Amino acid sequence: MTHQFQFNYFNPTRLLFGPEAMSALAVLVPKQARVLLMYGSGSIRRNGAYDEVMAALSGHALVEFAGVEPNPSLETLDRAVALVRQEQLDFILAVGGGSVVDGAKYVACAAGYAGDGWDIVSGRQPVTEALPVGAVITLAATGSESNGGAVVTSLARQQKKAFFAEAIRPRFAVLKPQYLVSLPDRQLANGLVDAFVHACEQYLTYPVDALVQDGHAEAVMRALRLLAERYDERRSLGWLQNLMWAANQALCGILGVGVPQDWATHRIAVELTALYGIDHGRTLSILQPRLLRETIEAKRAKLEQLGRRVFDLVDPCAEDVIDAIETMYRRLGMPLSLDDAGVTDGEAAATILAALRAHGLDAFGGHAGIDAAMTARMIRRIC
């Protein structure tokens, strides 16, 4: 039977890309807005973004909130929520990587909610409205600058979780590749892998004759594979601008419209960060190849298509394609096991499996029918 596409896609984020992208900022943030400027630990002061934002918004009412940590915590973000209420702010501008943008999205929702902010993250409190958010992105990875997702960690609960709402898609995003120059290699590699896995999660299921969606995803993954091969060029603006655009396209929502998706790698990955503080991109390189081997029969046809069209393999079998993905990750210096990531906890498998069970993630099914035994086998293999 024909798989019928059915979707409702609206992406309202205006993207300003390139060296002059910041020149529009003063107009994009409404003149009368009372702005909360959110950022992390200070990288924006080293790459020029902070000075350019301050110059562009010198005529605006603006209050700063610094210190949003990687994998932003509810505890930190709730202090920003209090500041928004106290100063009666009505526009959130995020300047930084995915963590800062996600943090801004949470604050935009929580500012108008009197209850416990975790209700928003857990989905108990559906989000229908939020303060407007704008983003100046300084790390190419998550696509958060133009999607409706945000990931927040509750330190008290030792849980990291994503939530989604149309209302949190940023109004605009500035993508200036020059800001990426100050990124360490580790973040460039993390970003490349994160973007690649985003495309995989929307593509690596089973064929549904989705000519446009497959083509989009393959173009993005092919670009990322080429960037991995050309990793020696990573300090050139040409390489950086391609990474920035590929990462945006991988998770702005367009690749996955109307097709089956499987976010198993991401859903499990949050536990590794919550438990061991491993960078998001690195949790993916550890988990994805193992998970693909575990679900290989359900994904065989798409894996082989990926091998032909993205990795240029001639008549590959699915096993070869997973090997090619692993080789790419290794080339980037990414970990393929917890050991590679420096986790030496002898009880790691039991700890991770207990967390997955507690959060209802040990047997979430999906098209590959992932059950508790498969999850347990896969987790033991990464340990």
CB nearer to ligand NZQ: give 91 or 179: 179
DSSP letter assigned to residue 73: B
| Contacting ligand NZQ within 277-336 (CB under 6 A) | 280
Compute the residue count for the chain. 383
C-alpha to C-alpha distance for 144 and 150, rounded to whole angstroms: 7
201 interacts with ligand NZQ by CB under 6 A:
no
Report the relative pairing of strands 34-38 and 91-96 from DSSP bridges: parallel
| Residue 144 interacting entry, from Zn ion, ligand NZQ, none, C-beta within 5 to 8 Å by type | ligand NZQ
73 interacts with ligand NZQ by CB under 6 A:
no
| Contacting ligand NZQ within 41-70 (CB under 6 A) | 41-43, 47, 70
C-alpha to C-alpha distance for 60 and 63, rounded to whole angstroms: 10
Question: At closest approach, how far in Å is the CB of 3 from ligand NZQ?
Answer: 25
C-alpha to C-alpha distance for 149 and 146, rounded to whole angstroms: 9
C-alpha to C-alpha distance for 180 and 246, rounded to whole angstroms: 14
102 interacts with ligand NZQ by CB under 6 A:
yes
User: What pairs with residue 93 in β-bridges?
Assistant: 37, 134
Residue pair 292/300 in contact (Cβ under 8 Å)? The answer is: no
| Of 79-87, 193-201, 340-348, 360-368: span binding Zn ion (CB under 5 A) | 193-201
Which of 184, 104, 165, 108 has its CA nearest to residue 137? 104
CB nearer to Zn ion: give 194 or 271: 194
147 interacts with ligand NZQ by CB under 6 A:
yes
C-alpha to C-alpha distance for 346 and 124, rounded to whole angstroms: 35
CB nearer to Zn ion: give 52 or 194: 194
Q: Is 208 exposed, middle or buried (0-12, 13-18, 19+ CB in 10 A)?
A: middle
Chosen residue from 194, 214, 294, 304 binding Zn ion by CB under 5 A: 194
262 interacts with Zn ion by CB under 5 A:
no
| Residue 139 interacting entry, from Zn ion, ligand NZQ, none, C-beta within 5 to 8 Å by type | ligand NZQ
Footprint of ligand NZQ (CB under 6 A): 40-43, 47, 70-71, 96-100, 102, 138-139, 141-144, 147, 149-151, 179-180, 182-183, 187, 190, 194, 251, 266, 280
Footprint of Zn ion (CB under 5 A): 194
